[in-house]
Amino acid sequence: MTKLQVTWVKSGIGYARDQRRTLKALGFRRMNQSVVHEDCSSIRGMIIKVRHLVKVEETK
C-alpha cells in the first residue's frame, strides 16, 4: 500500500483553529517535522485542509 510522507513547512500561526488542530491530529509537534501515514481518504482530507502548510510526497 502507498504511504504518504507529510512535512510541515509553514507555521499555523494566524490560521483558523481547526487548521492548527488538524496539524496536531496529523501528528506534528514542530516545524520541518515529517510524518508517514497510510494513504486513505481520511488522511487525504486532513492534508487537503492544510495543504498550504505542508508538503506531501508519496512513498512505497
pLDDT, average across residues 11-26: 97
C-alpha cell at 40: 486513505
Note whether 8 and 33 are within 8 A (CB): yes
Report yes or no: 13 and 33 within 8 Å, Cβ to Cβ: no
pLDDT band at residue 1 using 50, 70 and 90 as cut-offs: confident
CB 55, CB 31: distance < 8 Å: no
Average pLDDT over residues 31-39: 97
**DSSP-assigned letter for residue 10:** S
pTM for the whole thing? 0.92
pLDDT at position 6: 98
